[in-house]
Structure 1
Amino acid sequence: MGDLKQYWFVIRELTGREIKRKYARSYLGILWSVLSPLLYMLVMTLVFSTMFKRSIQNFPLYYLAGYLFWNLYGQISNSVMTVLVDNRNLLLRVKVPKNVFVLSRCYTALVNFLYTLLAFFPLVFLSGVKPSITMLLFPIDIVLCVMFGLGVGYILSILYVFFADIKYLYTVFLTMLMYMSALFYPVEQVPAAMQMVINNNPVYCYMLFARDTMIYSTFPTKDLWIKAIFWAVAAYLLGYLVFRRRENEVMQNI
C-alpha cells in the first residue's frame, strides 16, 4: 500500500504505456476489450447452448461471467510473470521499487476487465435479470480474484527470472485450468471426483460467486465465502512474501 500511494503516478503512466502498446496497431483499440468476450460468448453459445440448454439457465451469461473471471485471473498472472524481465532496463536505471512494475501490470489487467463490464452489465439486464441486492457483492468478488491472481503473479515473476521455460508450462496450465473451471458446462454432469476438484478450484470459486450474485440473484454459500477469501488472502500473502524475499536476487540474474 505504501508503494501504491507513493508511486501512484508511475503506476498510472506504466499502465497507460501498456494499454497503448497492446492496441498500438489496432483500429478499434481498447474497444476490443468489450468486443472480444462478446464474440467468444457468441461462438460458445452457438456451439454448446443446445447441448446444455436444459442443464444451464441463461447459458450466454453463464459462460460470459465465467470467461470474464477466468480471463481476469489469466491476464494478471500472465502479465505479472514477465514484468521484471520485460522492464530490466528501467529496473537498472531508475530507483523505483520492483513492486511498482508488478502493480502496474495488475492495474492494466483490471482496467481491461472493467472495460469488459461495459458489455456484461447491459447483457445481464437485457437478458431479463432483475436488479438484486446480491449484485452489491460483485465488487468483492473482483477484489478477491485480483488478490489471488496477483499472489500467483508474484511467485511466477520470481520463477520466470530464474527459469524462463515456466512461461510455456504456465500456458499449458492455463488451458488445463480453463477446462477444470466449468467454464461452459455444468459441474453436475461430471464424475464426483472431478466435481470435488472443480469445487476446490480457486478460479471456479470466483466464477461461481459472480454467477450467483449477478445472474441467479442468490447469496454465495458460507462454504463459497470461506474458499474465496482463503484462496485470495493465502495466495496474496504467500506470493508477496516470496517476492520480497527474493527480489534482491533478481538484479543479479536479470
Structure 2
Amino acid sequence: VLGIVWSVLNPLLFMLCTTIVFSTMFRNQIENFPIYFLSGQIMFSFFAESTGLAQTSLIENGSLIKKVYTPKYIFPLSKVFFALVNLSFSLIAVFLIILIMGYSIPLTSMLFFLPIMYLFLFSLGIGLLLSSLTVFYRDILHIYSVFLSLLSFFSATFYPISIIPENVRGFIEYNPIYIFISYFRMLILDGHLPDLKLNLLAVLYCLVSTIIGYRIFKKNENKIVLFI
C-alpha cells in the first residue's frame, strides 16, 4: 500500500520542491507551472526508470536464464511494463494538481495515452538495446547514469524552451524525450492536437528505437548466457 501511495507522493513532493525554486524564475514565462513541470517530470521519470531497470534485467536474472529456457526479451519487457504501472499512478498526481489549481481540462486531454504509448515503444527499444549491450560491456551502467542526468537538462522539464538560444535550440527540439513531453503537454495544457511534423517525429523515433533495439538484442541473444 505504501508503495502505491509513494508512486503518487514522490512526483508531488518533487514537484513542490521544484516549484518553490523555479516558479519565481519562470512565473512570467510558464502558465500553470506546476502542471507544466509535473507533466514533463513524470514522462522523463518513466523513460529513466524503464530503461534503467531494463538495462540490468538480464544480469539480475542470470541464474534463472542459465537454468531454465525463457525467452530473454521477457525480462527487459517486464521492466518497461513495471515502469508503465508506476507512471499510471503518477498520473493521479497530475490529476490532483489539476483539481487543486482549478484548471479546466481541454477535450484533447482524452488522447493523453498517445504520447505515453509512443514513449513506451521508444523506451522498450532503448531497453532492449541497453540490456543486451550491458551484458558484454558493464561500464555502460555508469555511463548511462551520467547520460540520464545530462538528458534531464536537455528535455525542458522545468524551463521554457524559449530561454534557449536559437542556434542551439535544435538540440532540444529534436530530442526524442522532449518530443514526447511536448506531445503530452499540447494535449493536456495547450488544448490542441500536435501538428503533422511532431507526429511524424514521434512515430519515426519509435520505429528506429524498436527496430534497432530488437535487431541488436536478437543478434546477441544466444551469446548472452555465456556472459551473465
The DSSP-based 3-state class of the residue aligned with 2:225 is helix
Q: Distance in 2 between matches of 1:94 and 1:64?
A: 42
The DSSP-based 3-state class of the residue aligned with 1:252 is coil
Q: Distance in 1 between matches of 2:11 and 2:30?
A: 19
Query: For residue 42 of structure 1, what is the aligned residue in structure 2?
Result: 16
The DSSP-based 3-state class of the residue aligned with 2:104 is coil
2:118 is the counterpart of 1:147: no
Tell me by how many angstroms 1:193 deviates: 2.5
Structure 2: any 5+ residue segments left out of the alignment?
none
The residue type equivalent to 2:174 in the other structure is: N
The residue type equivalent to 1:40 in the other structure is: F
Question: What TM-score comes out, normalization by structure 1 length?
Answer: 0.87
2:26 pairs with one of 49, 52, 55: 52
Query: For residue 194 of structure 2, what is the aligned residue in structure 1?
Result: 220
Tell me by how many angstroms 1:31 deviates: 1.4
1:107 pairs with one of 81, 99, 113: 81
2:106 is the counterpart of 1:132: yes
Query: For residue 141 of structure 2, what is the aligned residue in structure 1?
Result: 167
Structure 1: any 5+ residue segments left out of the alignment?
1-26
Query: For residue 235 of structure 1, what is the aligned residue in structure 2?
Result: 209
2:154 pairs with one of 180, 185, 189: 180
Q: Distance in 2 between matches of 1:97 and 1:28?
A: 32
Residues 34, 97 of structure 2: 8 Å contact kept? no
Tell me by how many angstroms 1:103 deviates: 1.4
Q: CA RMSD in A?
A: 1.2
Residues 179, 202 of structure 2: 8 Å contact kept? yes
C-alpha distance after superposition, 1:189-229 (max 9, x if no partner): 11112211100000001111111101221211221111111
The residue type equivalent to 1:132 in the other structure is: P
Deviating beyond 3 angstroms after TM superposition, the runs of 4 or more aligned structure 1 residues are none
Residues 105, 189 of structure 2: 8 Å contact kept? no
Q: Distance in 1 between matches of 2:55 and 2:132?
A: 8
Question: What TM-score comes out, normalization by structure 2 length?
Answer: 0.96
The residue type equivalent to 2:155 in the other structure is: S
Q: Distance in 1 between matches of 2:170 and 2:142?
A: 27
The residue type equivalent to 1:144 in the other structure is: Y
Residues 124, 215 of structure 1: 8 Å contact kept? no
Q: Distance in 2 between matches of 1:123 and 1:229?
A: 30
The residue type equivalent to 1:165 in the other structure is: D
The DSSP-based 3-state class of the residue aligned with 1:164 is coil
The DSSP-based 3-state class of the residue aligned with 1:98 is coil
The DSSP-based 3-state class of the residue aligned with 1:95 is coil
Tell me by how many angstroms 1:49 deviates: 0.4
Tell me by how many angstroms 1:127 deviates: 2.3
1:193 pairs with one of 167, 187, 208: 167
Q: Distance in 1 between matches of 2:138 and 2:60?
A: 12
Over the matched positions of the two proteins, sequence identity in percent amounts to 37
